[in-house]
Structure formats: structure tokens, C-alpha cells
Structure 1
Amino acid sequence: MRISIIITGLLLTLLVSCRSVPELKPDAIENKMVAALKWQEANPIQAKAPTDWTNGAYYTGVARAHDATDNAVFLQALKDMGERNAWQTYERTYHADDVAISYAYLYLDEKQPNVVDLEPTEAFLDAHLNAPHEWRAGTRNDEKTILWWWCDALFMAPPVIAEYATRYPDSDRDALLDTMYTYYRETYDMLYDQDEHLFARDGRYLWTGSTDDRKEANGKKIFWSRGNGWVMGGLALILDELPADYEHRPFFLDLYREMAAKVKAIQPEDGLWRTSLLSPESFDHGEVSGSGFYTFALAWGINNGILDRGEYLPVVTKAWKGLTEAQQASGKVGWVQDIGADPQPASADSWQNFGTGAFLLAGSEVLKLKQ
């Protein structure tokens, strides 16, 4: 009994101390999010197109920021973007990246019906999921033998599909979700490491035990922080939309919990995860994009009663502190690894719009911890 009282007291002390940290006050969090948005809007990245995946990830963060704060500055940014884009997706029908922008369209459509033209999104998803292609015929002989052959794809398309499916009657909704699950499961079966509870970025990084395998200098498997961040962030977005009684929800929930436990276990002391998850010494500094997605996903789990608050709150608290320290006085979010497919270094001045999106996603759920 005495031990239980002591543990309870320690947890209460931890919660009180977390609530007293200025960075965790809702107003402080929202101010940092607004500053990040304003800097990013004033400094657009030179992307392939305004509808590409980098903007898709960024504006997903903007959408969630508005949902958490109801601050009109976020909603206006979404409307301005959509009107500039004429509500279009990008051009590669079979590439999950090119529909990521539609998450923001779908969100805005819920908030302001009859403003968004969803026809381009509907046409893209129909073709993406159903049109004939060589990999469906089994004629590909490279790593691209499935639709979502790289783990980043699990953030780009599945949350859009899960959100889009909510517009259908139950039977049609579940049929669409089943299609999403089928393709998701293919990626899981190919890239998920059952021992490490992490995803290889793509088939080039699968570990077979061969001396030719790609591996870190310490001999560990290569697991990219942002790649697994894409998966974790995507899982939170998907689970947010899946009906409680949906047949395959337990699959997504079990995967989320398993990855959350792994991510918690390997968090560095300063709060930010390294670009190479199992070889933190390779680039011994925190990285914001992967860490932002983890912070979002873990805080979402606490807020939705899926993760134990006492166990995971210290993880989120440390992570958010690290993220805010990476934000400059101008609002710019630094320490973001450049576009890539494997662990590489970042710096205080390296930034990307998807890094800002990850920061906004994290803030959108950390803010709710106070409510």
C-alpha cells in the first residue's frame, strides 16, 4: 500500500510539474503554431508543384492546427491554398504522394460545405485504387510490386481515404476502407520488421542477413526516423476516422500501440529522435520532422485514451520542448532533414514545409493535453 501511495504521489507531482511548464500552456502552444504558419506562408518552398506531397503534409498540419485551435488564420491559409490550386491533386495517378494534398481539401469541405470542389480528389482516388496497372498484373520485377511500396505512402494516401470514406453510407464506407486496408496490409507485410517493430523505408532496406545488406556502421538495421514518423502520424489520422466497430480497426490499433512502445523506448534524453533510429550516433542531433510526427501520434494516443497518460506524458513533454527549441524567433522551424529516403543530417537552419507541418501536427495534440 505504501509503495502504491508513493507511486501515485510521484505521478501527481509529474503531472503538476508538466502543467507548470510555460511551453505547455495552451496560449503559448498556439502562439508558436501561429508563428510557424506565418513564417511558412511567407516563405513557400520551391516544390515540384503546389499540390505535391510536401505541401500535402504541410497543409495536413494546418488543418489539424485549425481543428485544435479554431483560429481563423489556419482556416484562411487552407482556403487560400485550395483556391490557388483549383482543388487539384498532383499528376501521378498511382503515386500515393500526389493525393496527400486532398486531406486539407476534405477537412475544409467539412468546415465550409460547398466551397471545395472534391471532383478531382474523387477521380484520383477511383483511378488510384481501381484502374489497371502493371503491378496489379504482377509484371513488375523490382521493389515496386505493390501500390504503396514505400512506407511514407502510409501517411500520404490512407488517411485521405479514411477521411473520404466517412462521406459514404456504412456498407459503401466499409468497402472503401477494406480496399485501403488491403493495400496497407501489403505494405505492412513487405516492410514491417516484426523484431524491431519499425518499418523499412522500402525494399532496398530490407534486412535479409546478407553481407550485401544496407546497415549502419554499428551493424544495426537502417530505420529512418521520418519514414517511421510518416507511418505513426498516418496511423493516428486513420484511427481518428475508423468506426469503432470497423472489422480491421484492431489491426491498425495494435500496430499503433506496438510502434508507440518502440518509439518511446528509443527516445533520446533531449526529447528529439535521431534520423537513424537504431544508430543515433550516426548523426547525433535531434531531427524535427520525424520527431514532430511521433509527438503528434503519441499525444493523440494520450488524448484518445489509447496510451497511458502517466507512461507517455513525459515522452511527449520532452519531445515538445525539443521541438520548440528548434523553432527560431521568426517562427521558422529548423533541424529538419532535407527530402530523402534514408537517415541524413540536419542543421539549425535546415527547414522544409513538411517539417512545419509536423510541428503543427504535434502542437495540435500537445495543446489538447491541457484540456
Structure 2
Amino acid sequence: MTKRKRGVMGHYLLLAPVVATLLVVTTWTLAGQAKGFSAAPNAGAVRRVADAVAVWQVSHLDDLSYVTRLPEHAEFSRGWVQASLYIGLERWARVARSDALSAKVLAWAEANDFRLGDRLMHADDHAVAQVYLALRRDGLAGDEALTSVRAYFDAILAAPPTVALDFVPTYPDAACTARWCWSDALFMGPPAWAQLSAVTGDPRYRDYADREFRAAADYLFDKDAGLFFRDSRFFGQHGQFGEKLFWSRGNGWAYAGILHMLDALPRDDSARIFYQRLFMRMSAALLRAQAKDGFWRSSMLALRSQPEASGTAFVVYGMQRGVALGLLDGQTYRPAILRAWSALVGAVSPEGRLGRVQQIGDAPDEVRPESTQLYGAGGFLLAASAIYEDAMTRR
């Protein structure tokens, strides 16, 4: 009798990870259905919610009255907010093979005349280049997609900035923004430089991106916590619960930026080792920081604070792609991915509006259930693209 009980327990222990994953899927699928969408990680369910988010957000670009904060700098259609949306939209359109959405992306780029933002040195005004270069890479746009990008980047290479990376005097006038001295910049800038090398075959852009990315990471990455400070102002700062202050979206930007560097680097490039190691180290820290409800918090280590969707979306994107690339163990990370994906789906209204998105800022802040932003939808579509690709491979 005793031996039989031990045998059953042994079988249960072997099945425990599988059971846990199934419970996550079942519980959050029911939650998603209550909101109008299923959170099941199958291709059909993912496509329905991702298409709804894409269509809702694109159809509301002419009236942004629902947005609390808009950037005061640069031309908005060429700034980082819309760029972040279109980076996600371009990837979702490509993965889902949606000609209609691809046409929307191309029309936006053409309306911008494939120009970058107004500030030559600022990474936020380089983010749009990632969309233009993707269109050029996939044959949807011609060499006109390269003109502004090459002009900006060649001008920078002719006189590379050498300012220190400390964030002074203050936002938004810190001199260091001529370089990548804040974590968001690692998503906005370096991938575009590396992608330009991939498209043109000129390694100078990739070399600059690698050099400056490493400098920023060496300066901003907390080796003990495995996370990025947003910028030097947060060194030694603590949040309301006494936690070290690591901003969720700032870390999400950096995490996705690492992946996009890996996407653009040649397979035999020795620099890949640096990004792979940084990605895996950061992944372990992010896994530990996830709250039980699946979300990450605006202040990453303040688990008692409010859930936040945009940082969560970028982390889901990174983790799922990390598993797909063989950098992360699926058995370890998949339950966390599914919890987070289900939490994100639960934040989508029946119309396709993503909620719980912290507004524009540079530090942890208040998050409301109804709050949304374009970059939140962009992050959601990146996450959806990774979940969808995984679902398609499992068919």
C-alpha cells in the first residue's frame, strides 16, 4: 500500500510542471473570455485579439483625446510614440501575413516621406528607421526608405558624440542624450543602426551600435539585480516600498532592444555572445520579478503596486522569443509567459483597446485600468507575434 502511494506521488511530481501550465492556461482563458477574448495561446485566439488591438489603435490615430500625455518634442508622426506602435504593427502584419496591415504600415511611412525625427542625435527620433528598414528589407519599399536614415547616421559617424553618460542637467535637456544614456534608447536607436548594416552591407553602422550599446549597458545595468536603471538619476534611488528603482517599461525597452540587436547581427558575429549573455542574465531577473497575477509592476520590484501592461508586453515578447531562439528553457519560462499573456489579454476591452498602460514618463508612476497609449499597443503586438509564431510551430 505504501509503495503504491509513493508511486502515484512520483508520477504526480513528474507531471506537476505540465499540470501547472494547464492550470494557468485554463484559469486565464476563462478570464479572457469574460472580457470578450480567449487567452488560450493558440493561433486563432491570438490572431483575434491581436487583430482587434491593431485595428482599434490604427483607427483611433486621428483622435488621441483618450491619451493623457503626448510628447512635446519632434514631429509626432515621426517620433518614438508612433514608431513604437508601428514597430509592433509591422512585425504583427508580417508574422500574421496581413496584407491589409502591411499596407497601413507602408502608407504611414510614405506619409512621413521616410524621414526621421527632427533631432539628429536623439535616439527617440531614430526609432522610425526600424520600420522603414523593415519595409526595405521585405521589398515593400525601395531605396527611398534609406535616404534619411543614411544621412542622419553618416552625419553622426562623421562626428561621433563623446559626452559623458551621466544624465545632467535634467530631462529633457541632458547633454548625454546625444548618446544612449537612458534605457529606452536601447530599443529606439541601436537596432536601427545594426539593421542599416544588414540592408546595405556596410559594417560601420553595426560597429557603432555595438560599441555604444555596450557603453550604455556597462553604465546602466545593475549586475546584482540583473536589471537596467532608467538613467543615472536613479542610481541609489528607492521606491515607496524601499525597493531599488527599476522602471518596468525602461527594462522592457532594453530587453526588446537586445533581441532586435540579435536579429540584425550576422549569425557568425562574435558580438552575439555579449547580447545572448546579457539577455539570459536579464531574463532570470525578470522571471523572479513577475507578480502572481502575471503582470510586471511599473516599479519592477514593488510587487504590491499596480500592474502595468506596456512593460509586461515587452517582457512577454522577449521571453517567448528567447525560448524560440533556444536561449531560454521552455519548461522554466513558459508558465510565466502564459500567465503574463493571459493578464495582457484580460486588459484588452471587447473593442480592442489595451488598458493598464502607464502614460509617457521616465519613472514608475500611476497606472489606471483604462489608461492606454500607442506604444502599449505596439508592445502588445510584438508579444502577440511571438506567441502566434510559437502557436503555429505547435500545430
TM-score where L is the length of structure 2: 0.84
Equivalent position of 1:127 in the other structure: 155
Q: How far did residue 14 of structure 1 move?
A: 5.1
- Structure 1 residue 240 corresponds to structure 2 residue 263: yes
The correspondence for 1:9, drawn from 9, 15, 18, is 15
Q: How far is the alpha carbon of 1:114 from its aligned partner?
A: 4.4
Report the Cα offset of residue 238 of structure 1. 1.4
User: Which residue is 1:357 aligned to?
Assistant: 378
d(CA) in 2 for partners of 1:301, 1:89:
30
- C-alpha spacing 1:269/1:130, structure 2 compared with 1 (3 Å): farther
- Name the CA shift for 1:7/1:76 in 2 (closer, same or farther; >3 Å): farther
CA distance in 2 between counterparts of 1:241 and 1:134 reads 25
Show the counterpart of 2:283. Answer: 260
Aligned residue number for residue 100 of structure 1: 127
Q: Gaps (5+ residues) in structure 1?
A: 208-213
Check the 8 A contact 1:19/1:25 in 2, yes or no.
Answer: no
Deviation (angstroms), 1:31: 1.4
Question: Residues 153 and 205 of structure 2 are in contact (CA less than 8 Å); yes or no, is this contact kept in structure 1?
Answer: no
In the aligned structure 2, how far is the partner of 1:139 from the partner of 1:77? 39
- Specify whether residues 188 and 52 from structure 1 end up closer, same or farther in structure 2 by C-alpha distance, changes over 3 A only: same
Over aligned residues, Cα RMSD in angstroms? 2.5
Partners of 1:177 and 1:117 lie apart in 2 by 18
Match of 1:64 in 2: 91
User: Following the alignment from structure 2 to structure 1, what is the Cα–Cα distance between the partners of residues 377 and 46?
Assistant: 14
CA distance in 2, matches of 1:309, 1:337: 29
Aligned partners of 1:18 and 1:141: how far apart in 2? 45
Q: Who is 1:36 aligned against?
A: 53
Distance 1:132 1:144 in 2: 14
Does the 8 Å CA contact 2:357/2:376 hold for their aligned counterparts? yes
Q: 2:214 aligns with which of 178, 185, 189?
A: 185
Structure 1 CA distance for aligned equivalents of residues 217 and 373 of structure 2: 27
Q: 1:131-210 to 2 correspondence within 5 Å? A: 131=159, 133=161, 135=163, 142=169, 144-145=175-176, 147-169=179-201, 172-173=202-203, 175-207=204-236
1:131-161 deviation per Cα after TM superposition (whole angstroms, max 9, x unaligned): 355728x999756447111110000011112
Secondary structure of the structure 2 residue equivalent to 1:167: helix
Comparing 63-72 with 84-93, which one deviates more in the overlay?
63-72
Q: 1:82 aligns with which of 109, 131, 134?
A: 109
Task: Say whether residues 1:73 and 2:100 are aligned partners.
Answer: yes
Counterpart AA for 2:186: L
C-alpha separation in 2, matches of 1:235 and 1:53: 18
Deviations 1:179-205 (A, max 9, x none): 111111111121111111111111111
Q: 25-34 or 307-316, which moves further after superposition?
A: 25-34
Which runs of no fewer than 5 residues in structure 2 stay unpaired?
A: 1-6, 30-37, 65-69
The structure-2 alpha-carbon separation of the partners of 1:58 and 1:9, relative to structure 1 and needing over 3 Å to count, comes to same
Structure 2 residue aligned with 1:210: none
Letter in 2 for 1:241: A
Distance 2:166 2:51 in 1: 48
- Give the aligned partner of residue 230 of structure 1: 253
Letter in 2 for 1:147: R
- Relative to structure 1, the CA distance from residue 204 to residue 13 in structure 2 (aligned partners, 3 Å threshold; closer, same or farther) is same
Q: 2:311 aligned to 282, 290, 295, which one?
A: 290
Aligned to 1:329: 350
Q: Is the 8 A contact 2:123 2:185 kept in 1?
A: yes
Over the matched positions of the two proteins, sequence identity in percent amounts to: 30
In 2, the alpha carbon distance for the partners of 1:362 and 1:326 equals 14
Instruction: Specify which of 13, 21, 43 is matched with residue 26 of structure 1.
Output: 43
- 1:243-281 deviation digits (Å, cap 9, x = unpaired): 232121111111100010000011001101010012233
Aligned-partner residue type, residue 199 of structure 1: F
- The superposition leaves residues 219-242 of structure 1 with CA deviations (integer Å, 9 ceiling, x where unpaired) of 322110000010011111111222
Deviation readout 1:33-85 (Å, 9 max, x if unpaired)? 11111111121246552000001111110111022111123201111101111
Residue 187 of structure 2 contacts residue 257 of structure 2 at CA under 8 Å; is this kept in 1?
yes
For residues 100 and 112 of structure 1, what CA distance do their matches in structure 2 show? 20
Q: Structure 1-normalised TM-score? A: 0.90
